[in-house]
Structure 1
Amino acid sequence: MAAGAPMNDATDYSRSFAAKPQPLTLEQAAYITPPMQAVDTESMIDVPRMRAYRQNRLRQQIKKHGLDAIILAEPLSIRYATGVRNCTLFQMHIQAGYLFMPAEGPVVYFDSEPGRETGSQLETIDEIRDDLLPLSHMFAGYRQEEWAQNWARQMAELIRQHCGGGTRIGVERTGFHAEQALIEEGFSVVDVAPVLAQARKIKSPEEILAMNLTIAVAEDGMTRMRDHLRNGVMEQELWAHMWTALIEGGGEWLDYRLMASGERTNPWQQEASSRMIRAGDMVVFDCGMVGPFSYGADISRAFRCGPGQPSDYQKKLYTLAWNEVMHNTQLMQPGAGFRDIIASRYIQEPGFGDQLYPCMAHGLGMADEWPVILHSTEDRFHYDGELEAGMVICVESYVGEIGGIEGVKLEDQCLITENGPITLSRYPFEEELLSREF
């Protein structure tokens, strides 16, 4: 369907995924250089199939949660729902585009011109509108409440047209005034987060292929960092090689700059600085990458800056972290309850488990996601749940004594299958740092 074309109630929405952009004329094609690889002898990721899978998952969860429609404003949520992308990082802190998706009916997308142009090429969007209303204070200023009311009336028109009298609406990050205005229009407004979490948790084969591509880009970055690791290089200079690999590989951003060396590896979660790395230092990082197709790679490794040989203490830190990741990965079985996983988790030696990583494991898709598995059921943030085939789980470990000189952070990314976990991250561990003594 052409961008902006209206849809009526008689439209057959089951054919929406088969919709194609209008064919080009020879004259139009003559001026276009397509942004794609010239490969016609190998199979590629079936991206339309991936988009259809995700949108169908979302619709299933909308119905399962008893909602009549959802309204999305978070750019990664819109990306998941439709595949469209427009200035993602900007829209993470300044609300701009938004998406209306009923349980049954047309997907309607509002955005600025670049987003509308991208969206017009996607079969997952039925109608594209240019009457975008400002939700952020930056664009609305002192008129924010006024524009929120106008936005609520805009959404109310769509809800009444496409939801058959339903009034229960899942809303995401539209802001206080917008949500209040929807309530004043007579709708029951609920948080859409559970719908998104339950939709995203089970990946399709195409999503795993996309994720593997991001992992390959991240591992390229790891190799570049390892190749440029030398006495005297600054942490942020070394970290720049991960960014270079990301951009050259068609990725999007790094969620953080978690890379530290020497004494800055303890405690963990210190970001890359201008510290010069010295011979003998441990260098530890967490890639936290959002790569091609917006899928995540969340892998941690630790190197040692040469020359020379690692100390026994460095070997112990590394081996204990490796033991934890290897042991806990095997607990990631389909049907395993979070409580059972916690009860069977790896327990570090006295003194080496006093600065645990904030979680034992967590989900991953388009960046970090539900669930989070903690180290103890007594933790006040603990919640119950169960692993399922199709989830991608990152298994974490940090080992460092309180007051210790160094620490080691390791993490692997694995796919839960009916036959158990498969580790997707392939970057090798450091043989010189592994010891059979610990």
Structure 2
Amino acid sequence: MTTESYDLYPVARLAAAQEATAAAGLDALLLTPGPDLRYVTGYQALPLERLTCLVLPAEGDAFLMVPRLELPAAEHSPAARLGIEFVAWDETDDPYAAVGARLGAAARVGLADRMWAMQSLRFRDALPGAEQVLAGTVLRGLRMRKSAAEAAALREAGAAIDAVHAQVPGFLKAGRTEREVGRDIAEAIIAAGHETVDFVIVGSGPNGASPHHELSDRVIRAGEPVVVDIGGQMPSGYCSDSTRVYSVGEPPADFLRYYDVLQRAQEAACAAVRPGVPCEAIDAAAREVIAAEGYGEHFIHRTGHGIGLETHEEPYIVAGNAEPLAPGFAFSVEPGVYLPGTHGARIEDIVICTEDGGERVNHRPRELVVV
């Protein structure tokens, strides 16, 4: 089932955000362009020096401050369905002062997590008596628990990035550079239906031991494992992210030993997903397998991160996060083993917590692919 069958940005979300704002003891949320604004309104506004801002008071009517030249775009976005006032401002106006005048004696306001510093400081001047906190503390509970429409969007994103991984063996050849392979992958990501390419990691040989290596002009050699971690954003706004490992010819024996351990660790973590299980327990499920085989010191990052309108968002699958999983939580499960100067490996799927377990949205083989 596709996202066309669902409403990704329902009108009711505005009321839910307003209710959460009041419950958090805030007077208003101030949401500038970015994932918070898009989540609440569906409007993917351009991030400009000119202020676009949804003002969502805990009580009363919300309104959208928008530069007059951006008004047509706002009026043709899903935000137009919300029934809120669009306040267009002109080049000689001070939109921050206008927001301050409307909010009056607000004591606490939530700022979009991705708001630019220059905007937050302008709001501080316009609302000198207001404490500023992150809007994410209010919206996190809503954004973490994906709706049926959001789950469908993530499945579409997963299928699209799986289609790219299916092509990767044809791109990998001894004598090609990581950058050349990465260029082919980026083109395939767009061709598979993504709107943007968010990242392309092609880590060959020793570069595979650097989790965020991305690309270089290093020439891929025969007998080397290659870590390929790729993702992008779909037209829906929802993101893909998946890692698979390939080998150009037969890899070294020491690599095969820990790749088998890694595969078992990733399987154990995915199998542990169900409602009520703490996020940190999923991390522990992967880490215990790796540590028991003597590779614990080489697993140097958390097991996963939430995903949705951002590639990295809450919840984080890491030790110390006791947040219990709930149906609708979506996150990566991506343990890794990295031997500096030698090689490395990571296996990553996006998993959605269901009513009684976990659903993977990525379905490419997790076994090492030898090309």
TM-score clears 0.5? yes
Query: Which residue number corresponds to residue 101 of structure 2?
Result: 157
TM-score, normalization: structure 1?
A: 0.74
Partner SS, residue 418 of structure 1 = coil
Aligned pair partner of 1:75 in 17, 34, 38: 34
Query: Which residue number corresponds to residue 65 of structure 2?
Result: 110
User: Where do 5+ consecutive residues of structure 1 fail to align?
Assistant: 1-41, 135-146, 377-381, 434-438
User: Does the CA contact (< 8 Å) of 1:210 and 1:292 recur in 2?
Assistant: no
RMSD: 2.8
The structural deviation recorded for 1:391 is 0.4
The structural deviation recorded for 1:295 is 0.6
Deviations 1:312-371 (A, max 9, x none): 323223222211111011222211124544554442145422122421222111121112
Computing the radius of gyration over CA atoms, which structure comes out larger, 1 or 2? 1
Aligned pair partner of 1:221 in 164, 181, 203: 164
Residues 53/355 of structure 1: CA separation in 2 closer, same or farther (3 Å cut): farther
Query: Which residue number corresponds to residue 417 of structure 1?
Result: 354
Question: Which letter does structure 1 place at the counterpart of 2:349?
Answer: D
The structural deviation recorded for 1:409 is 1.1
Aligned pair partner of 1:64 in 23, 47, 57: 23
**2:267 paired with 1:330:** no
User: Does the CA contact (< 8 Å) of 1:218 and 1:297 recur in 2?
Assistant: yes
**2:87 paired with 1:129:** yes
Query: Which residue number corresponds to residue 111 of structure 2?
Result: 171
Aligned pair partner of 1:391 in 316, 321, 329: 329
- Whole-angstrom distance in 1 between the partners of 2:201 and 2:61: 42
Query: Which residue number corresponds to residue 52 of structure 1?
Result: 11
The structural deviation recorded for 1:265 is 0.8
- Whole-angstrom distance in 2 between the partners of 1:364 and 1:419: 20
User: Does the CA contact (< 8 Å) of 2:9 and 2:42 recur in 1?
Assistant: no
- Whole-angstrom distance in 2 between the partners of 1:247 and 1:113: 32
Higher relative contact order (CA 8 A, sep 6+): 2
Aligned pair partner of 1:84 in 43, 65, 79: 43
Q: What number of residue pairs does the alignment pair up? A: 360
More off after superposition, 414-423 vs 189-198? 189-198
Deviations 1:72-100 (A, max 9, x none): 1242221111111244xxx2x85742221
Residues 242/114 of structure 1: CA separation in 2 closer, same or farther (3 Å cut): farther
User: Where do 5+ consecutive residues of structure 2 fail to align?
Assistant: none
- Whole-angstrom distance in 2 between the partners of 1:335 and 1:105: 36
Deviations 1:64-122 (A, max 9, x none): 212232101242221111111244xxx2x857422212235444223456743232132
Partner SS, residue 428 of structure 1 = coil
Kindly report which structure 2 residues correspond to 1:326-405, keeping only aligned pairs within 5 A, or say none. 326-342=267-283, 344-347=285-288, 348=290, 349=292, 351-367=294-310, 368-374=312-318, 376=319, 382-401=320-339, 403=340, 405=342
**2:254 paired with 1:313:** yes
Aligned pair partner of 1:275 in 205, 213, 218: 218
User: Does the CA contact (< 8 Å) of 2:190 and 2:197 recur in 1?
Assistant: no
Partner SS, residue 335 of structure 2 = strand
The structural deviation recorded for 1:395 is 0.8
User: Does the CA contact (< 8 Å) of 2:245 and 2:368 recur in 1?
Assistant: no
The structural deviation recorded for 1:131 is 0.8
Query: Which residue number corresponds to residue 231 of structure 2?
Result: 288
Deviations 1:153-187 (A, max 9, x none): 21123325xxxx76432123253522421432x43
Residues 297/54 of structure 1: CA separation in 2 closer, same or farther (3 Å cut): farther
Partner SS, residue 45 of structure 1 = helix
Query: Which residue number corresponds to residue 237 of structure 1?
Result: 180
**2:350 paired with 1:406:** no
- Whole-angstrom distance in 1 between the partners of 2:297 and 2:226: 21
The structural deviation recorded for 1:287 is 1.4
Query: Which residue number corresponds to residue 208 of structure 2?
Result: 265
- Whole-angstrom distance in 2 between the partners of 1:261 and 1:419: 38
**2:141 paired with 1:201:** no
Question: Which letter does structure 1 place at the counterpart of 2:316?
Answer: V
Partner SS, residue 215 of structure 1 = helix
Could you say which structure has the higher strand fraction? 2
TM-score, normalization: structure 2?
A: 0.86
